[in-house]
Amino acid sequence: MPASASWLELARVYVIAREYLGPAEHARGRELDCAAWITALLARYSREEYLHVLAALNHATTSDVLTEVYQERFLARLAPDAAQLLRTALAGGVDGQQRWFLARQIVLRTMSLVLVSPRPEIDSVQAEIATAVGQLDLECASVLLVHLVGDTLTRERTPREPLLGGSPQSLAMEMIANNLFNEPDDAGDLLARHRLLWILHGDRVAGARARPVSMLEEATGLAFDDIIALAFVYYSSIASHAPDNPVAVNAFTGIAVDPEVIERFLDRFAVRPDDLAAQLRDCPLPWQLLPIQDRPLLRLDDSVVVLDERYLLERATQGLYWLVHDHEKYQHGERARLQWTQVYAAMVEDRVKEQLRRLAPPLVGAGASTLFTEDDLALAFPKTKAADVGIDFGTSTVLVEIVSATVSVATREHADADAFRKDAEKIVVKKARQLSVTAHNLLTDPQPAHSPLTGPAKKIFPVAVRGGHFPVNPITRRYLEECFADERLFQHGGIQDLALLDMEELEACEALHQNLHLTLPDLLADWQASEYSKTSFRSFLTLRFGGRNIGRPDDIEAALHETTDMIADRLGFREDSTG
């Protein structure tokens, strides 16, 4: 792969059964038969028993400390020879690369296997394997099942397959799907940002047939605050889970919300085991987890199990767009659906432009500003494409295009190369064309009379800010650079590499400007000069500022406090100050 060692340092490799169970079986005169072991394990415990433990193991994947706890418990209960082989594998004894004990994707695939597979008859299990499995408690059986499932996940390579971003296409798409699946979002930032988007920016934009929060309530039967509060209380239940504690929680007890409201929430965000199993039968591919992403709560009578806390938080924030999208389409038609996509794009654009205004340096003079808009550029350079926003920093200029689109399901779940190319065109390349034209215009000498700059730009940083997901890694960067070269975009020494930022990364820029007085050009230049220039800006920040509290922008901090106060009031956690 065209990847530096520094990028690969950010990745982890999970352990699979063959790396320790294979040699242990060989020593007993048997070859490892993953299918036979899986059959024996499925016969050992019920579907519901496995799902409870797998939910706990999935939570452990969010914490190195918890993962270590489960790892040591498993090693202590494993046969001594297998335990030593596993320790060797974890330490890098297989190929020099350390292994990680649990991985979120594999735990979720194991949930799918447990739900979809028919329960085997115990007499169909090989006697030797049945004896070995019979000695395993539920937690050990669950972990072993996860490692066996990891052993079954492969992506087929085809002879003479085309390259994508300098790598064989199948490998490139596996890395892209992995990037999309594992890109983390800060929980507090998600909650605060979407409160601002839906309430503040949603009320500002024009063109909607109603307030966005009212459209959401029409689509779901739930108020925005009810969705956030209930999602948070279930999210908190799994986020604070410790080994040996029950993972299922009563969906109603201790929650001061009308039970009818809770039922409506569960109807939309929870699923019963049989229904989830039916949906997952059509999802055999390694990254196909949409049914769990859509409904990350498992409903068991009056109790719920959080199958995946990340999906739950995403569904109650980023996923709200799709609830309105689908309702508009099915209840009001294609025109209403299209209108909603435009309204949401305007909400994202309004949010990003507000952030950019705060990042722009002040300029003395009544009504003067270092920030200029698409309209300003159109006045100076008529009949050409123009970027959404520009900021004049004096020695450098930042140009920004804003896009609300996200990658398709075919890219995320099917790892489909053609779908990725279409997504890259829509989300990045199309915006790059506008940025390139604008950049070349601002570099011309002399500048026209209505130019937002007093003279030709010296150095230009083109930036694309996206409201949705797009994978940023050395493979996708190389692919995009090939696209830019083919179209001769950014062909000037004064134009820097295109920076791809998401909304959380832009908020980090704002926090660093607010709290450490770093300018946007300084941050972009530092990133692009580093060994992490082809990775995401988030990865660069982790390595550059890891361990330091860079804070949050003031409006995000305020919105987060407003959200937590609302949750406390909604759920009855706040004491009555008049009492």
51 in a structural domain:
yes
Looking at the structure, tell me whether residues 445 and 413 fall in a common domain. Answer: yes
500 in a structural domain:
yes
pLDDT average, residue stretch 376-383: 95
Looking at the structure, tell me whether residues 401 and 284 fall in a common domain. Answer: no
Domain boundary among 269, 297, 331: 331
Looking at the structure, tell me whether residues 355 and 464 fall in a common domain. Answer: yes
Domain boundary among 276, 299, 331: 331
Whole-Å CA distances, 130 to 21, 35, 37, 79: 15, 13, 8, 15
| Number of C-beta neighbours around residue 45 at 10 A | 20
pLDDT average, residue stretch 323-349: 97
pLDDT at 10 over 60: no
Token pair, residue 411, equals 């890219």
Looking at the structure, tell me whether residues 471 and 522 fall in a common domain. Answer: yes
pLDDT digits (tens, 9 = 90+) for 389-418: 999 999 999 999 999 999 999 999 999 999
Token pair, residue 12, equals 């982890």
pLDDT average, residue stretch 533-551: 87
pLDDT at 541 over 60: yes
Looking at the structure, tell me whether residues 311 and 197 fall in a common domain. Answer: yes
pLDDT at 305 over 70: yes
Looking at the structure, tell me whether residues 382 and 429 fall in a common domain. Answer: yes
pLDDT digits (tens, 9 = 90+) for 497-532: 999 999 999 999 999 999 999 999 999 999 999 988
pLDDT at 5 over 50: no
341 in a structural domain:
no
Looking at the structure, tell me whether residues 501 and 477 fall in a common domain. Answer: yes
Q: Which amino acid is at 358?
A: R
pLDDT at 13 over 50: yes
Q: Which amino acid is at 124?
A: S
pLDDT digits (tens, 9 = 90+) for 14-27: 999 999 999 999 99
Nearest alpha-carbon partner for 43 in 133, 144, 107: 133
Looking at the structure, tell me whether residues 402 and 543 fall in a common domain. Answer: yes
173 in a structural domain:
no
pLDDT digits (tens, 9 = 90+) for 113-172: 999 999 888 777 788 898 999 999 999 999 999 999 999 998 777 888 999 999 999 999
DSSP state string for 154-218: -----TTPPEETTEEHHHHHHHHHHHHHH----HHHHHHHHHIIIIIIHHH----SS-HHHHHHH
Phi, psi dihedral angles at 416 (to 5 degrees): -90, 120
336 in a structural domain:
no
pLDDT at residue 124, rounded to an integer: 73
569 in a structural domain:
no
Domain boundary among 104, 119, 154: 154
Looking at the structure, tell me whether residues 133 and 11 fall in a common domain. Answer: yes
Looking at the structure, tell me whether residues 108 and 190 fall in a common domain. Answer: no
pLDDT digits (tens, 9 = 90+) for 350-360: 999 999 999 99
pLDDT at residue 573, rounded to an integer: 75
Judge contact between 40 and 124, C-beta under 8 A: no
Judge contact between 314 and 185, C-beta under 8 A: yes
Q: Which residues constitute the domain of residue 280?
A: 181-331
Lowest-confidence region among 73-87, 144-158, 194-208: 144-158
pLDDT digits (tens, 9 = 90+) for 258-276: 999 999 999 999 999 999 9
171 in a structural domain:
no
Q: Which amino acid is at 493?
A: G
pLDDT at residue 576, rounded to an integer: 47
Enter the pTM of the model: 0.94
120 in a structural domain:
yes
pLDDT at residue 155, rounded to an integer: 75
d(CA 412, CA 54): 23
What is the dihedral sign for C-alpha 140, 146, 149, 150? negative
Looking at the structure, tell me whether residues 323 and 380 fall in a common domain. Answer: no
pLDDT at residue 562, rounded to an integer: 97
pLDDT at residue 1, rounded to an integer: 33
Looking at the structure, tell me whether residues 314 and 352 fall in a common domain. Answer: no
Number of domains the chain contains: 3
CATH number for position 477:
3.40.91
Q: What is the mean pLDDT of the chain?
A: 93
Residues 6+ away with beta carbon under 8 Å from 546: none
Which runs of consecutive H residues, i.e. helices, occur in 385-536?
A: 409-412, 417-424, 430-443, 474-487, 503-516, 520-528
**For tokens 């940083």, what's the residue?**
461
pLDDT average, residue stretch 432-452: 97
